[in-house]
Structure 1
Amino acid sequence: MTSDTDTMPLEAYLAQGGKLTTPENAPPRYRGELLRLMATFVDSELAGAAGFADIINQGPGIKERIAASRIVLEKLDHAERVLAVMGEFGADISRYANHHPWAERVARDSDLGAARHGADMRLAVLHYPLQGWLDAVLMNVLMGHAVVIQIEEFAGLSYQPLGEIFRAILPRERRHKELGEEGLRKLLQEPANRPQVAAALAYWRPRVAASFGRGSSAHFETQRRFGLRRTGNAELAAAWERQVDDLLRVIGMA
Structure 2
Amino acid sequence: MALSEMEKEQRLLAKIARGETIESVAEMTEEYRENLVHLMLMQADSEVAGAFGYVPWIMKAPSTVEMLSVATIAKDEVRHGRVMYKLLQELGVDVDGRVKEFDFTLRVGDEVELGATRAAQDDRVNIFYYPINTWYDFIMFNVLMDRGAGHQLEDSELSSYGPWRRVMEGIMKEELMHVAHGDSWLVRLGKDPEHRAETQEALDRWFPRVMNIFGKPHSRRNEIYRKLGLKKRDNHEVRLAFQEDVRKVVERAGLAMPTWTPDWDRLQEDATITG
User: Which category describes the TM-score, using the shorter chain as reference length?
Assistant: over 0.9
Q: Contact 1:35–1:86 (CA<8 Å) still a contact in 2? A: yes
Once the two structures are TM-superposed, the CA of residue 162 in structure 1 deviates from its matched residue by 0.7
The range that moved more, 236-245 or 148-157, is 148-157
The C-alpha deviation readout for 1:102-138, integer Å capped at 9, x for no partner, is 1111122322222233110011111111121122112
In the alignment, the residues of structure 2 paired with residue 107 and residue 215 of structure 1 have an alpha-carbon distance, to the nearest angstrom, of 29
The Cα shift of 1:185 comes to 2.9
Q: How does 1:9-28 map to 2 (within 5 A)?
A: 9-28=11-30
Q: TM-score normalized by structure 1?
A: 0.93
Alignment partner, residue 170 of structure 2: 168
**So what's the TM-score if we normalise by structure 2?**
0.86
Q: Which of the residues 75, 78, 86 maps onto 1:76?
A: 78
**Aligned-pair CA distance for 1:56:** 1.9
1:12·1:225 contact (CA, 8 Å) conserved in 2?
Answer: no
Q: State which drifts further: 60-69 or 91-100.
A: 91-100
Amino acid at match of 1:35: V
User: Does structure 1 residue 124 correspond to structure 2 residue 112?
Assistant: no
Deviation at 1:207, TM superposition (A): 0.2
Contact kept, 8 Å, 2:43 with 2:124, in 1: the verdict is yes
Instruction: Confirm or deny: 8 A CA contact 2:187 2:254 kept in the other structure.
Output: no
Structure 1 residues 26-35 or 9-18, which shifts more?
9-18
Aligned to 1:42: 44
Question: What corresponds to 2:62 in structure 1?
Answer: 60
* Counterpart code for 2:157: A
Q: Which of 221, 242, 245 is the matching residue for 2:244?
A: 242
* 1:113 aligned residue (112, 115, 118): 115
Structure 1 runs of 4+ with >4 Å offset: none
Q: Is the counterpart of residue 252 in structure 1 residue 254 in structure 2?
A: yes
Partner of residue 134, structure 1: 136
Which of 206, 211, 214 is matched with 1:204 structurally?
A: 206
Report the Cα distance in structure 2 between the residues aligned to 1:27 and 1:60, rounded to whole angstroms: 51
> What percentage of aligned pairs have identical amino acids?
29
Alpha-carbon displacement from aligned partner over 1:123-166 (angstroms, at most 9, x marks no partner): 11111111211221123211121011111111110010111011
Q: Which residue of 1 aligns with 2:188?
A: 186
Contact 1:47 1:126 in 2 (8 A): yes
1:64 positional shift: 1.0
Residue pair 2:108, 2:119 contacting (<8 A) in 1 also: no
Mind listing any 5+ residue stretches in structure 1 that lack a counterpart? Answer: none
Q: Aligned residue for 1:33?
A: 35
CA contact 2:216–2:236 (8 Å) conserved in 1:
yes
Alignment-derived partner of residue 225 in structure 2: 223
- Contact kept? 2:61, 2:67, Cα under 8 Å: yes
Structure 1 pair 183–65 and aligned structure 2 pair: CA distance change class (3 A): farther
Q: Which amino acid in 2 is paired with 1:204?
A: W
Q: Note closer, same or farther for the CA distance 1:159–1:227 as it changes in structure 2 (3 Å cut).
A: same
Gaps of 5+ in 2: 1-6, 257-275
Residue among 137, 144, 147 paired with 2:146: 144
